[in-house]
Structures are given as structure tokens and as C-alpha cells.
Structure 1
Amino acid sequence: MKTPRTRAAAAAALALAVSATPLFAAPAAAAPADITVVYTEGQTWETGYSGQFTIINDGDTALQDWTIEFSLPDGAAISSMWNADVAESAGNYTVTPPNWGAPVPAGGSYGIGFNGSFSAGPTATEPEGCTIDDAPCSGGPPSEDTEAPSVPGGLSATDQTADSITLSWDAADDDVGVAGYEVLRGGEVAASTTGTATTAVVGALDADTEYTFSVRAYDAAGNRSAAGDPVTARTSADDGGGGDPGPGGDRRVGYFTQWGIYARDYLVQDVDTSGTAEKLTHINYAFANVSADGQCFMANQPGEGDAYADYGRSFGAADSVDGEGDTWDQSLRGNFNQLRELKAKHPHLKVLISLGGWTWSKNLSDAALTADSRERLVSSCIDMYLRGNLPVIDGAGGTGAAAGVFDGIDLDWEWPASAGHPDNTFRPQDKQNFTALVQEFRDQLNALEAENGREYQLTSFMAADPQKIEAGYEVGAVMEDFDFVTVQGYDFHGAWESTTNHQSNLTPVPNDPGPRTYSMQETIQAYIDRGADPADLVMGVPFYGRGWTGVPGGPDGDGLHQTSTGAAQGPYEDGIDDYKNLKNLSGYELYRDAEAGTAWLYNGSTFWTYDDPTAMRQKVDWAQQQGLGGIMAWSLDGDDAQGSLMAAIDGALDGS
């Protein structure tokens, strides 16, 4: 097993003790010389590190199934793993393919990434006794290979964006075989490849900044060449599209749902082909989950997570943002890789991981309860999504840093100190604990910014109900630590109530029967009264509608504020449907309340409250009159293939 290693500059002083030569358990069967496992350690920080195992198949047939076993030194542990399932017993780890399968193709490779942690003080982290299918990971008996590969030449920068530089070089030679390459920046590994790939993308760079890189080769025995001649390149200037337009700027935020790729068939590619990507400043990816012990984690089981959608699903060329199909030897696939490709195509975009949501907020009250639990939650989320631990595939099979995917964290706790999902825990002290949690996020993000030399954003999705605002938020205090917040502007009413009503009215509606009678006007004023600057508030709008059936016409014949017999039938769940479907309903009459910015459809029996492009423009005009900082859409998969709702928002914000 070869073990090229790197350390983040901020962690160099830790002087971790690592094994120069890995120890292997005696093989239980003859070693298949054509199957090897490469271990590469990535970044290291104060309490943890990232690493990757790469299975390399030099044989003539695909490896359909496999089992990797190893142990870690005392004090080191694996906290999360992707692209594989992992089980631990007494410090011994067993890694097997994920449930969606992971064959290693003939002549190809398969990457498995993980986050590790270690105790305070010098701690070895090198895996020990590594075997694959009971044979040494090195592919046979200990190698006598002591000769390093030749120095790679011909290094050049072939492409630049505002935050990445693509490098290519000539292949090196080795007496046994080159196993991969490392791209160095300032003496540290900025990207690495396995196999024959001689191209890599270095991401997470600053715009209009000069960087110097060199490349060295390594072989399966861990021998590394000297670094070749360096090359210097400059990232391109930011195009001004503005992931962060600044105070008073018009932010355009859209939520992309993890599950939208299934029944709704809305892929990241659709954000691009609809024209929506060029109009957005931010995409929030929904959602990241929090475990019962208060840490960010990724799983692949119903109710806990969908790692297959996040990073496992292979997209073909016809469904991919860059027009190239995923391959099995990619370290990263799924939505995460598609988002990375979308950012490469639209460098102004910021992508944030959204934490919690309606269902996965259930453990946030516990996680925010004490200073220790807050520190543990925040560090786990930052380690998982922002430290560059998730592998990112480059165009030729190498891996770089996950910072190319996420630019910050969106905190979506529904709701501090108030009831949300029936499974959620909430406490009166959540209000103060929310403030402390936000401060902990900001402090750790500031430290990460100093470590990495780049900025990370912190936002939050916050409640519309004035009672929940009062119960859950110390508004003036928390706004100091957020870049901005998005405010719920929908779900004021729905089929959980028997009476038809508007779900997203801007102003109070006469004769509103309740039971809740607030509007966006009252919501925004509640935040301003408690210390929020309107320019830091981004108003949420729905790309879906809510419906009732069995509705009489009422005195005005429009079905509004009438008692129904239940929820209208919907394609995904009753009582809800997307704009793209509602706009094509036949036999309905369209009604509007221009002052309230509402629209609804009624056919004499079924009533749908929804937003069309006209209502969207009314909402944007109102938000601009209030001096708000932009518009947020839940969720992008509700729009049509032409991105009509997003186009209406963009046009109204631009005054066109």
C-alpha cells in the first residue's frame, strides 16, 4: 500500500507521528497481484484529518465485490466514510461496497473517502494491517521496490476560472509502474491523481490571484520523485455575477432538493439548461442530517439520508452538466459532483449545504444545548463539508478538494423553542442556544478562513410566524454573525386546515378566517423591530402551490375562504403540487389579489393557491419597496423547463 501524505499548513506544528512503512497482516489467501489499494492522506486539522483509499484493478476482469480490512493506531478513528459502508469493532475496520454497488472495472480504480479524528497530542493515523479480500493491500508480499519514479515534466496550466486552475503534465516512468501524481503548492499537496491521469484541477482558489505549482510522481511502494519544474498561473477575475452582492444587493437564492432527482426528475443539469443558474447567486443544497449524538453525518438508509443521490449516482452524458458521463473510477459522482460542474460553468455561484430542514431538525435542540455539544456539531459539519475532505473528481480521474463543492453553511433549524415536525425536540432555552450556536459557527468559520485563505458564508432559513420569531431568535444578536438570512414566505396556510386560504400573501387579507392571520408585511416588520437590517433579509417565495377539494364557490364564486372536504390530489403528496404542473391545469379559472401578491385557481370544486410569473413580479416589487436583500425560492424543482418563475424574479429585480 503506497502512502503519499500531505499536511495543511496550519496543522504542520502538530508534528504527527506516522509510520514510515505500513504494517500488513499475514494474508489468509494468495495475494492477487493485480489488485492493490492505495492510501492517501489529505488535509489535517486540529482534531482530525481526511484520507482516501483507492482500489486499483490492473487485471483483465472487473472486481465485482471486495472487502478491505485494517486497523488504526490508538487515538485515531474514522468518523464518516463515503462511497463505501464501514463497520468498526475494537479498532478494526471493515469496508465493503455501498448498497448501490461499486465494481472496480478492469484497468480502472475506485475511490473511498473518509474523515478521521485523533486524540490530543502526537497521534499516528496510518492504517495498519490493510488487506483486500484477505490479501495485503500492496498486492502481494512486501515489495523490494526502492526506486522512485522519474520527475514529471511538461507541466502547464491549461485552463483557469475565478476559483480553479487546470494543470497537465507529461507522464513519468518507473521500473515497476507509476501509481499516481501529486500537485504541490507551497510544499503541500493541493491535488492528487491515481493511475495514469496526468491532469488535475486545483480548486478553492481566490479570483485574480497568482499561484505556483509543481508535480511529483509516486509508485505503489510509496517512493516519490522530486518535484518537477514549477509553473505559475493566475486565476481569472471574478465576473461580478456576485455570489455575495454586498449589503443592499439583490441575492437570488434557490434550494436544490436531494430527492428532486427522483419523481420530479429535476437534475442539477436542469438548473443550467433552464437558464436558472445564470440568474442565481446562491444554491442551498437540502439537506444535511444531524445524528442523535449531535454531529453532521451522511447515510444511505430511509429516513436518515441518501448518500447515493449525494455522491454515488452516476449520471450519463445526456444528464450531466458538462456533457460527459460519470465513470466508476470517479471519486465523486452524484449531485455533489454535478454541483461542482455547475460552479465550474457559472463561477459566480455560491453553493451552501443546508443543515436540518423540517424532518432533520429533530436533534438540533440537543446538539445546541451546551458549549461542548455546539463545538462538536459545528466542527463535524465543517470537517465533513468544508475542509476539502470530500474528494472531487477532475477531468481525468484525479482528486482535488471538496471545497470546490460547498462555500458555506445554511442553518435550517425548524424551529428553535417552537414546535416543528412532531418528532422534533424543542426547549425554551433554544432561543439563547441558537444565538450561541450561530456564534460557534461564525467563530469556527473565521478560523477556517484564516487557515485556508478564503471566505465561507453563513446563512439561515428563519420562520415567518411572529410568535416563532419572538420565541426562537435573539434577532439583533444573531444577525451580526450571518451574511444574510432567508425568511419563510410560504406555508401560511395549507390543507392541514379545512378552510381554503392563501399560502404566501404579502399583506393582510380582509376576512381572513385564520387560524393564523399574519402576512409577509407583519413577518418582515417583526424582524426589523427586533434589530434586523432589511438589506440582510431575503424573502422566500414558493415554486409550488397548496390545494383543497370539495370546495364550494362561496359568495364571490371563487372558492376563497371556504370549507373543504380535504386535500386536493397531488402527484407527490396530497395537498401540494409544483408550478410546472399547476400552470397546465385545464378547466380552472385564474383569480388574483394584486395587493397581496397572490393568485389562485378554482374549477368549482378544487382550489389551488399558487404563484405564477405575474405573482412573482408582484412579490419582487414589494420586496424591493421594503429594501429587502433579495429573493429565495423553495424549491427549484417546482419551476418549469424554461425557468419561467426564476426568469420573472430576475427580470423584476433588474427592473426589466
Structure 2
Amino acid sequence: MSVRSRTRRDQARRTRRRLLALLSVLLLPIAAITALATPANAAGKLTAAFTTENNGSWWKGTYIVRNDNAAAVNGWTLEFDLPAGVTVQNSYNGTATVNGRHVTAVAAFYNANVPAGKTTEPYSFWFVANGPVGTPTGCRINGDKCDGSSDVLPSAPGTPTVTDATAHTLALKWPAATGGDFPVASYDVLNGSTVVGGSTTTDAVVTNLTPATSYTLTVRAKDTRGNLGPASAPVTASTFDPATDPTPPTAPTNLRTTAVGSSEATLAWNAATDNLKVAAYDVYQDGAPVRTVTGSTLTATVGSLSPSTSYTFTVKARDGADNASPATAPLKVTTSDLVGAGKYARVGYFTQWGIYGRQYFVKNLDTSGSAAKLDVINYAFENIDPVNLTCMAGVTKGTTADPQDPDQGTGAGDADADYARPMSAAQSVDGVADDGWGKLRGNFNQLKKLKAKYPNLKIVVSLGGWTYSKYFSDAAATDASRQKLVKSCLDVWIKGNLPVYNGAGGDGVAAGIFDGIDLDWEWPGSPDGHAGNHYSANDKANLTLLLAEFRKQLDALGGSHKLLTAFTPADPVKINQGWDLSKIFNYLDIANVQGYDFHGAGSDNSWEPNRTGHQGNLYQDAQDPYANHFSVDAAVKPYLDAGVNPRKLTIGLAFYGRGWQGVADGGVKGEWQSATGAAPGQFAEEAGTRGYNNLITTFPNLAVHHDEQSVATYGYTGAGGQWWTFDDAWSIGKKTAYLKSKGLLGAMIWEMTGDTPGGTLITAIDNGLK
């Protein structure tokens, strides 16, 4: 069985003449404003001086940025508050956004670098204003005060008091710190000069202390910029002596759930008793401690859970001497699925390169009605750096034309399409063109706009794919390499720290676009991936460990649950080679099971050029002459037989067709008949493949047939002509009914560019899943 292949088209880059002149920037409406991060490569403090020029009906405000450092500083961001009654009409020599009276201005590419001892003149940032002439307040440049003075620190907190003590903990509370230029964000608890605890509130529990030991503790405040205030007056207290209390508490009782979601469960229990007092309750998940609450608290919420997954919980009480009680009776809890009972997920792949030859933009997801019907968009594909074995961004290097070139995808990527290419108004989701100077442009900026329009839509970044899976085996090979890969992927794609490319990128500029990671490793442990792919007998175990590392680091980010999904094989051989179905679903939220490419000729006629065959039949066809009898039903069976919760599975549907030419009729309209090779494709380098819309418009009189036995759609132009296998509304209706009967999570689509402009196929899926 083949797998998805992909080629890149029309990736020639256009150079743009950039004028070193004043850039007029339209100010964004408040709803569209996002905070801009300090440039990643800024170093050394800058200052900025403000001047005004009254021109009667309007006035000019200018900030001259100065660098008194011994080295150049590259990148600056100004923030300031306008005087009351002042509005800004236009700004120049920088990109400005306004939120109420607060203005954020980011350097243009030509004045971002300020040499040592120099200023931004003659290209300093300035704006046209109406209203009373006045100096803005609260000016900061790269976070520092524009006049160069130091920040005012928060005051010392009040003297802490000890509210509780156990053998290994001391609980404190204190009066809040006040003052300072920035709000207090957190507090450090210190033993001497060593930080031993912390809190975002005015109380804390210091842990891992030595029993029967005296400690002198102080507290200091830290503001939102990281400034540390002075320490409080000290308090001295001693931990509990365990020798004075050998009696453990009784076991808590009646462990139960009060709420269960897709990624968290809230537990409650009845109190334990103790001869002195219960100090804490420890919650265990599958035998490992995950939460601790104080002895007066009889409930706890456990997060970082996977959807549609079973967990076993117990709770133990603990007294001040750290004597632990027996555990409660175990409680088995199964989390809910991602979309809710009775509902079904729609997952669609958006291809990075679709904006070229296919002319399919993020905007088309909106205008076709697809965005309103999708739950998850998989953005395909991003690559692994062949040297550093990290997630790679910030390069534009096309793939080679030869699909059998072992290095076809080595080092390839498209930062231009991702975040540097300015989109025109006609290509933009909200009809507003990229100005060409913004830090975020291209597909990513459009995805950001799409999410603003559809707040419930999730977007994940897909790593790998057919051409970019070469180095997965190497990156997953050791604990150190797994940690390195995952950290890099989260830094780039989740935290949004994009490498600077053609004036775009920077720390945090893409934060919030992606809601998780999709792993498209094709294929672990198998020699049947793309030519030259690295693989190992250890891949199966290492893939499980890699997924565990992704889950661990994604959960550590905090905030809303981050998705972890994967494209998984239909072939039982490939499943056995690389996918441990008994373990991987402890970490995966969704497995998108391949439901297409069962047969095809391939662009280089290296696959199955001499006989036609269905590419996505639902059931086995009794007339199938091939040795391997693939079907959607056969693809799902190994997962369900292994005990995988069906609400973790989607089945893949193809928005494209596979075709042959020189096809004999055989009395069966070309079904399973001899052929002379791949039919001409939608693009010259993609023989044997056409998007659904291209197929039906290229062959408006194509005789379409429906095989009721196998549930497969095919079209035939006549004896000696072309034969195409594809999904249409009829087969989609049958497949959606099937997945509902099996209790599966939903459907996945490869890929959205193949649909009609009006969304014929996505509408068929949506109707079938209602």
C-alpha cells in the first residue's frame, strides 16, 4: 500500500523592492490588536526622546531612539500612552498598533538596527496626531524607561507568619507588597539567600524541609517584569518532630467524581481522622502521586489527562508527622472525548504549498464554508533539521523534483509561505492586506485571523509527512534527543518563537496560532517510507517515548489542553512495525487512520501502474486481485481489536482521485483492469493524481459508478481511456454512517484544496456526521 505523497509547486521566490522611505501604517481596530514581543535579538538599553511640531490642524510627535552602548542594538519596540483627547491618524518609520490610548510601535526593517553612539535619525518613528499637543506618558523602549532611569521596585512584603507545620513543610502567609512601576506577579520564600518556595498569592507552603529543624524565612516580591523587591522581616519556625506522633490517619472514604471532562477530572472524598490532625491528602493517578491538597480540603482537580482514556485514582491522608494512611478504594475514571457525546470531529489538512499552483489560501477555508464545519485544521508540513535534529523553521528551500531522491526533503522548508509572504486583500481572511513589514504575514497571519473569526477552531502543526519524515528515527533515538526535539518544536510552533526571515519572525510573534502538534511519521520501523528515510527496529519503542515526551512538555506549558495527534497507518504490517497500540493512546488525543491510497499508479509509475484499483473502498471487494486486500474497515479493525477507545480514532477521506490511463473495459467498466500507467495529473509532476474539483471539471461527462459491495466510487472515460478512483458525496455518506456505527470520533480529510469552491465534499461530511 502506498501512502500520501506530496510535491511542491511554484515555489520560486519573488524579490520585492523595498523603499527606504516613510511607511504609512493604518492603525488596527482594537479587536484586532495583539501585544508585540520585545525583539529576540535586542541587547543593551536604548533611550528615546520625544519632540513635537505643531502644524495647526494637526501636530507631529517624534520619538528619536538613541543607543549609548558600545555595540549596536538590533530591534526596538516603543510603548507609550497618548494624552487625553489625542488621536493618531497615521504613523511612519515603524508599525504602530493602538489599544485605547496605548500605542505600541515596532521598528521598520531599515531603522531597526541602531549603531553604537547613534540614533534613528533621519528615520525616527513619528505620528500624525489630532487634539491637544502634549507629551505621551509611560514611555518604554524594549521594556526599559525611555529616559534611561531605573524601574521603581515593589516594597518589602509585611512580616510573614507561620500558619501550619508538618515534618517536611511550613505554611506561611504575609501582607502584600505595594508600589513599584509594575504589578507584583509572585513572591519568593527564602531561607537565608536560598529560594526555598514561591507563590503567586500571599501564602505559600515550603516543602522538602528536614523534620525537627528550625528555619528563618523571609519573603520578597517579584513584579511582572522580573524586578525583585527587598526582603521582608524574618520569621523563625520549626518543622514537626515525627517521633512525637507514630499513629497514621485512617483511610479517606467514598472517593468519587464530581465532574469529568476531556482533559481533567474533579475528585471528592470523605475526611479521614487522626489522633492529632490530618495535614494533607495525596491523590494518586495510576499509582503515581499527582496532587496534594491541605487537610481541610476534600476535593481536587487532576488535569493533563487525555480524552477518552481510563485512569485509576486513589487518595491517602497524611498527618503532620508525614504518616500516610491506607489508600481509598480505587476509582476508575474515563475522560470524555474531545467533541462531546453524540458529536463527531472533522479534521482537515491545509497544505502549506497550496497557495502556489493550487491558489488555495486560508481565506478559501472561510469562503468555501469549510472553516465553519471543521473542528481541527492540520497545517502541513514542517520539517526536522537534518543536523541539529530539531524542529526547523526560517528557511526557504524547495524539495527536489525526483520523488525517489533520498534527499528530496532534506533541509527543505517554506518560511515564505509560513510567515513572510505578504497576502493581498483579495487573499486575506478579513480583506485587509499585509503591509509587507509586519513580523507576522503569510499563512500564519491568515490562520490567526481565521481563529479570530472561528474561536472554537483548533489548529495543530503537522510535523513530517511523506517527504519530511527522514530524520524522525534519529531524533527519537535517545532520551536526550527526544527532549531536545520536543523542546524545539514547542519553542517554535507553540510559543511562536520564529526565526527572523525577510524582516518577519521574532520571539512570540506566532504564539497562540497552534493548539498542539500532529505527528506524521511515515513510517517508524518500516523500510516502506520515502526513499532514504532512516528507520530502526527501536523505532516502535522510541515512538512511544517520543509521544510521552511531547505529552509531558505540552502539559507543562499550562493553560488550555494542547492537542497531540498523529497520522497512523492502515496497513497492519506497518502498525506492528512502529505503533504500540497498547501504549501510544495514553498520550494521543486523536489518531487519524489512513483511509485512502490503498491503490494507485504514482507520479513515477513505480507503484501499481499496470492495474486499476480502488484507493479508499470501505469494505473488501471480492473481485480484488491484489495480494493485500485493503479497506477502511480492515484499517480500523486492528485498532479496535487492540482495545483502543473508538472515540480516539478518525478515518481518512480523500479529497482527490487516483487515476490510470490505457485502461481496458473488461466488461466491468475498467474496475480492477489492466492499464498502461498513471493518467495525466492536475500538475505535470503529479501524474495519477487530481483534486476532486479538478477531476470533475476536467471530465464533466465522466461516467461515475458506485460499487455497492465495496462502497467505492470510480469514473471511467471508456475503453482504452482513463479510470479514476475517488470519494464523492455518495461514498462519503456511506463512510460517515459507518464510522458512526462503530462509535468512532469522526473523519479526517487529506486535503482541503481538492474540494469545490462551494465545499461540496466537506458539506457531505458535515451532513453525514450530524
TM bucket (normalised to shorter chain) is: 0.5 to 0.7
Letter in 1 for 2:682: P
C-alpha separation in 1, matches of 2:79 and 2:442: 34
Q: Which of residues 347, 350, 353 in structure 1 aligns to 2:458? A: 350
**SS of residue matched to 1:460:** strand
Kept in 1: contact 2:617–2:632 (CA 8 A)? yes
Q: CA deviation at 1:455?
A: 2.2
Matched, 1:445 2:551: no
Q: Which of residues 415, 421, 436 in structure 1 aligns to 2:545? A: 436
Q: Which of residues 454, 469, 474 in structure 1 aligns to 2:580? A: 474
Q: Which of residues 618, 623, 627 in structure 1 aligns to 2:743? A: 627
Give CA-to-partner distance per residue, 1:510-566, whole Å, 9 cap, x none.
12111421211111110112231111101110000000000110132x100111000
C-alpha separation in 2, matches of 1:420 and 1:178: 45
- Residue 582 of structure 1 corresponds to 695
Kept in 2: contact 1:484–1:537 (CA 8 A)? yes
Kept in 1: contact 2:464–2:521 (CA 8 A)? yes
**SS of residue matched to 2:743:** coil
Q: CA deviation at 1:509?
A: 0.5
Q: CA deviation at 1:282?
A: 0.5
**SS of residue matched to 1:255:** strand
Matched, 1:490 2:596: yes
Q: CA 1:401–1:559 in structure 2 vs 1: closer, same or farther (change >3 Å)?
A: same
**SS of residue matched to 1:475:** coil
C-alpha separation in 2, matches of 1:521 and 1:141: 70
Q: Give TM-score, length-normalised by structure 1.
A: 0.67
C-alpha separation in 1, matches of 2:746 and 2:731: 16
Q: Which of residues 397, 417, 427 in structure 1 aligns to 2:536? A: 427
**SS of residue matched to 1:432:** helix
Kept in 2: contact 1:331–1:399 (CA 8 A)? no
Kept in 2: contact 1:567–1:575 (CA 8 A)? yes
Q: CA 1:171–1:478 in structure 2 vs 1: closer, same or farther (change >3 Å)?
A: closer
Kept in 1: contact 2:543–2:578 (CA 8 A)? yes
- Residue 525 of structure 1 corresponds to 637
C-alpha separation in 2, matches of 1:403 and 1:112: 10
Q: CA deviation at 1:217?
A: 2.9
Matched, 1:593 2:707: yes
C-alpha separation in 1, matches of 2:553 and 2:624: 45
Kept in 2: contact 1:108–1:329 (CA 8 A)? no
- Percent identical pairs in the alignment equals 42
- Residue 561 of structure 2 corresponds to 455
- Residue 539 of structure 1 corresponds to 651
Q: CA deviation at 1:422?
A: 0.8
Which structure 2 residues correspond to residues 228-377 of structure 1 after superposition, within 5 A? 244-246=338-340, 249-292=343-386, 293-298=388-393, 299-303=395-399, 304-377=412-485
Give CA-to-partner distance per residue, 1:403-437, whole Å, 9 cap, x none.
32111000000011112101211111111111000
Q: Which of residues 497, 512, 515 in structure 1 aligns to 2:624? A: 512
**SS of residue matched to 2:731:** helix
Q: CA 1:278–1:511 in structure 2 vs 1: closer, same or farther (change >3 Å)?
A: same
- Residue 187 of structure 1 corresponds to none
C-alpha separation in 2, matches of 1:503 and 1:596: 11
Kept in 2: contact 1:149–1:223 (CA 8 A)? no
C-alpha separation in 2, matches of 1:473 and 1:523: 14
**SS of residue matched to 2:511:** helix
- Residue 568 of structure 1 corresponds to 679
Matched, 1:217 2:139: yes
Letter in 2 for 1:427: S
Greater Rg over alpha carbons, structure: 2
**SS of residue matched to 1:574:** coil
Q: CA 1:197–1:516 in structure 2 vs 1: closer, same or farther (change >3 Å)?
A: farther
Matched, 1:103 2:214: no
Give CA-to-partner distance per residue, 1:177-226, whole Å, 9 cap, x none.
9989xxxxxxxxxxxxx95799xxxxxxxxxxxxxxxx953248952488
**SS of residue matched to 1:600:** strand
**SS of residue matched to 1:590:** strand
Give CA-to-partner distance per residue, 1:550-590, whole Å, 9 cap, x none.
0110132x100111000000122110001001122134211
Give CA-to-partner distance per residue, 1:141-194, whole Å, 9 cap, x none.
669xxxx99755679xxxxxxxxxx97132679xxx9989xxxxxxxxxxxxx9
Letter in 1 for 2:710: A
**SS of residue matched to 2:378:** strand
Q: CA 1:375–1:171 in structure 2 vs 1: closer, same or farther (change >3 Å)?
A: closer
C-alpha separation in 2, matches of 1:505 and 1:258: 28
Q: CA 1:345–1:455 in structure 2 vs 1: closer, same or farther (change >3 Å)?
A: same
C-alpha separation in 1, matches of 2:454 and 2:36: 28
Which structure 2 residues correspond to residues 371-450 of structure 1 after superposition, within 5 A? 371-390=479-498, 401-418=509-526, 419-449=528-558
C-alpha separation in 2, matches of 1:546 and 1:150: 58
Kept in 1: contact 2:612–2:660 (CA 8 A)? yes
Letter in 1 for 2:428: S
Kept in 2: contact 1:104–1:329 (CA 8 A)? no
- Residue 86 of structure 1 corresponds to none
C-alpha separation in 2, matches of 1:491 and 1:434: 24
* Structure 2: segments with no counterpart, 5+ residues: 1-12, 26-34, 47-63, 71-77, 86-96, 109-123, 129-136, 152-179, 184-335, 400-411, 602-606
- Residue 184 of structure 1 corresponds to none
Relative contact order higher in (CA < 8 Å, ≥ 6 apart): 1
Q: CA 1:491–1:343 in structure 2 vs 1: closer, same or farther (change >3 Å)?
A: same
C-alpha separation in 2, matches of 1:260 and 1:311: 14
Q: CA 1:140–1:410 in structure 2 vs 1: closer, same or farther (change >3 Å)?
A: closer
C-alpha separation in 1, matches of 2:383 and 2:758: 32
Q: CA 1:260–1:541 in structure 2 vs 1: closer, same or farther (change >3 Å)?
A: same
Q: CA 1:430–1:517 in structure 2 vs 1: closer, same or farther (change >3 Å)?
A: same
C-alpha separation in 1, matches of 2:523 and 2:103: 56
TM-align CA RMSD: 3.8
Give CA-to-partner distance per residue, 1:58-96, whole Å, 9 cap, x none.
xxxxxxxxxxxxxxxxxxxxxxxxxxxxxxxxxxxxxxx
Kept in 2: contact 1:179–1:219 (CA 8 A)? no
- Residue 255 of structure 2 corresponds to none
Kept in 2: contact 1:551–1:559 (CA 8 A)? yes
Kept in 2: contact 1:152–1:217 (CA 8 A)? no
C-alpha separation in 2, matches of 1:434 and 1:246: 28
**SS of residue matched to 2:725:** strand
Q: CA 1:150–1:484 in structure 2 vs 1: closer, same or farther (change >3 Å)?
A: closer
- Residue 643 of structure 1 corresponds to 759
Q: CA 1:153–1:532 in structure 2 vs 1: closer, same or farther (change >3 Å)?
A: farther
Kept in 2: contact 1:617–1:648 (CA 8 A)? yes
**Richer in helix (by share):** 1
Give CA-to-partner distance per residue, 1:280-300, whole Å, 9 cap, x none.
000000001001131101220
Q: CA deviation at 1:380?
A: 0.6
Q: Give TM-score, length-normalised by structure 2.
A: 0.57
